[in-house]
Copies of this chain bind each other. A is one copy, B any other.
Amino acid sequence: MPHFDLPLDQLREYRPEVAQPDDFDEFWAGTLDEARRHDLAPAFEPVDLPLTGVRVHDVTFSGFGGHRIKGWLTLPANATGPLPAVVEFVGYGGGRNLPHTHLLWATAGFAHLVMDTRGQGSGWGTGDTEDPVGSAPASPGSMTRGILDPHDYYYRRVFTDAVRAVETARSHPLVDPSRVAAIGSSQGGGITLAVGGLVPDLVAIAPDVPFLCHFRRSATLTGREPYAEIARYLKAHRRHEEQVFRTLSYFDGVNFASRGRAPALFSTALEDMVCPPSTVFSAYNAYAGDDKQIEVFSFNGHEGGGPFLQDTLLHWLPQRLRGRAASTA
């Protein structure tokens, strides 16, 4: 895939106007309030695995609507805490997968909680979390479920689940609640941005090739899945364009970015037609935190930096923890 988006020097200055509804903050405050009326009820069930280096727990907690959301919590085998924690969100179509697939952060000395994405998890990885909410007519996939009203929109539920996942991680006795970071790739990066805008006291966020940014542009710039679900919906529902983009404005990563303050490590790839670099830079350039940087991979597509980015993150994240004594110390 050749370079198809703006040249890098223009990307670095790209600050488009992205629609933001007046009641954006009220909408989200109300949404989280409503979710918190349900007891979080975090459960951590030990999983019996033939692994000696880590301990894994099957996690369940109450997300949006009190619906029970799954995850895995992985700890270094001999940890006594308090541990810094990484909460991770996964890419579109995947789920929490099998527990032995998440070893990196526990091996690096962190508590690691990966959240299942409701209703997904039948693509590249399996999931175990139901989305009990139905939908008006929608395109195949999650992107347009409930898209005619922000209150019904699928990602309202997911972003709320994600905030609650951070709270779940913080509730674990071995986790130091003052040293929690959020990370994720693609959809996981989009959720990370949302969490970064909704949870004020994270120690760091790392949105990798984030999805769900600048919908107006992404829906017309790329024909690749899953942004294509929006265009496919509007191809049929020809008279709903404004209504759809109004809904999406409540979920745009650019609007969450302008509210984020935690140290942030973004990444993007110049051949990424799934989450085009200009949509990532839209969020990065809007990001409100001072300590921010973006890794640019010139010849990669949506796979982005892959293990090279992990390597960078393995060094970057501990630096953000230094000087932050464990809260219980």
Chain A residues close to B by CB (< 8 Å): 1-3, 49-54, 76-77, 93, 95, 97-98, 100-101, 103-104, 106-109, 119-142, 144, 219-223, 231-239, 241, 270-271, 297-301, 303, 305, 307-308, 310-311, 314-315, 318
Contacts and interface: CB of A to CB of B under 8 A. Distances in A.
B52 A98 contact: no
B126 A137 contact: yes
A135 to B, nearest CB: 6
20 contacts: A2-B231, A50-B315, A52-B76, A53-B54, A97-B307, A100-B107, A100-B310, A101-B310, A119-B136, A119-B137, A122-B139, A123-B139, A126-B236, A133-B134, A141-B141, A231-B299, A234-B298, A235-B300, A238-B299, A241-B299
The oligomer's copy count stands at 6
B130 A311 contact: no
A49 B95 CA distance: 29
B241 A108 contact: no
A90 to B, nearest CB: 12
A137 B121 CA distance: 6
Contact of A134 (B106, B119, B236): B119
Interface centre among A126, A139, A232 (most CB of B within 10 A): A126
A101 B309 CA distance: 12
Given A108-B52, A130-B134, A137-B122, A100 B235 contact: no
| Centre residue among A127, A132, A135 by max chain B CB count within 10 A | A135
B53 A231 contact: no
Contact of A2 (B54, B135, B222, B308): B222
Overall SS of chain A's interface: loop
Contacts of A128: 137
A233 B305 CA distance: 14
B139 A107 contact: no
Contacts of A135: 119, 130-131
Nearest to A308: B238
Contacts of A140: 93, 140-142
Contact of A236 (B103, B122, B223, B239): B122
B271 A108 contact: no
B108 A53 contact: yes
A134 B131 contact: yes
Contacts of A234: 298-299
Nearest to A121: B137
A109 B52 contact: yes
A71 B315 CA distance: 23
A238 B3 contact: no
Given A98-B311, A123-B232, 18 more contacts: A1-B223, A2-B221, A51-B107, A52-B108, A53-B53, A53-B76, A93-B140, A98-B308, A121-B137, A121-B236, A122-B139, A122-B144, A122-B237, A125-B236, A220-B298, A231-B271, A232-B299, A238-B305
